[in-house]
Amino acid sequence: MCELLAMSANVPTDICFSFAGLMQRGGNTGPHKDGWGITFYEGKGCRTFKDPKPSFDSEIARLVTNYPIKSEAVVCHIRQANAGPVCLENTHPFTRELWGRNFTYAHNGQLADYKERLATTKYIQIGSTDSEQAFCWILEQLKRKFADTRPSDEALFRYIAELCDIIDEHGVFNLILSDGESLFVYCSNNLHWITRRAPFGPAQLIDADVAIDFKKETTDHDIVTVIATQPLTKDETWHKMQPRQWQVFKLGEAMLASN
């Protein structure tokens, strides 16, 4: 299956270190060679880089690794195709507008017998993946329930969690969803997270011979949470989420979580 990566931070922060590890799993240390994509938020705007080529051998991925784009919210995905051909329109993450904001979505897993249950009439998928169809269905349900007014964060994300439970009945549905301010994560079977704050220390990537001393790259006020399918570093303690557990992070801090 695919692998996910996301970041929530209280100050604009680059994700170069974590991405350097993840891109190795796209055809080098891992089998996820069917494309990759990453979305960085800057205020209400976002910039997305995608490539249907393996991230390990992608010039665009090397650019992202070496170009320290700073953001408070990032969503990233490397793909191992199981539904839909390998092409740009099937490459995550997907972004759609809702309530005047860009919602970005990435999914890890595979769904079965979902087309009738997750059918949509307003939000129509561009590609041919189960992942994008599930995203369209979530957006359509949100629009039906809340119409043209965005609800409170708690009402919004608790309802999204209910929708994720429904989708999860059709297979494996690990999800990352962001509107640039909040980062919602839902675990079907495999997600990990870590929050870094002062006192910062060193870290070593699992998939590349790259190390960093976060103390030299941060201030005492920085808070950065990273979410990944599998831990990216070998010398830090990552938290493993449980099936059907969900969390919302904002500015690096855990804001809401399942009971």
What is the per-residue pLDDT for 24?
84
Rounded mean pLDDT of the chain? 93
Say whether pLDDT at 83 is over 80. no
Residues 6+ away with beta carbon under 8 Å from 72: 8, 9, 10, 11, 12, 13, 41, 180, 251
Structure confidence by residue, pLDDT tens digits, 145-166 = 999 999 999 999 999 999 999 9
Helices (H), the chain: 16-22, 59-66, 130-146, 153-168, 214-217
Task: Return the pLDDT at 193.
Answer: 98
pLDDT tens per residue, range 173-227 = 999 999 999 999 999 999 999 999 999 989 999 988 888 989 888 889 999 999 9
pLDDT confidence band for 144 (50 / 70 / 90) = very high
Q: Determine contact, residues 73/183, Cβ cutoff 8 Å.
A: yes
Residue 42 has pLDDT above 80, yes or no: yes
Q: Which of 81, 96, 66 is nearest to 35 (CA)?
A: 81
Signed CA dihedral, 152, 41, 127, 97: sign only: positive
Catalytic residues: 2
Burial 170-202 (b: 16+ CB within 10 A, else e): bbbbbbbbbbbebbbbbbbbbbbbbebbeebee
Containing 247, the helix (H) or strand (E) segment is: strand 246-250
Indicate if the pLDDT at residue 236 is higher than 80: yes
Q: How confident is the model at residue 84 (pLDDT cuts 50, 70, 90)?
A: confident
Adjacent-strand bridge partners of 45: 42
Angstrom distance (rounded) from CA 23 to CA 221: 29
Local structure of 140: helix, strand or coil = helix
Give bridge partners of residue 223 from the DSSP assignment. 197
pLDDT digits (tens, 9 = 90+) for 119-129: 999 999 999 99
Q: How confident is the model at residue 1 (pLDDT cuts 50, 70, 90)?
A: low
The answer, yes or no, to whether residue 141 has pLDDT greater than 70, is yes
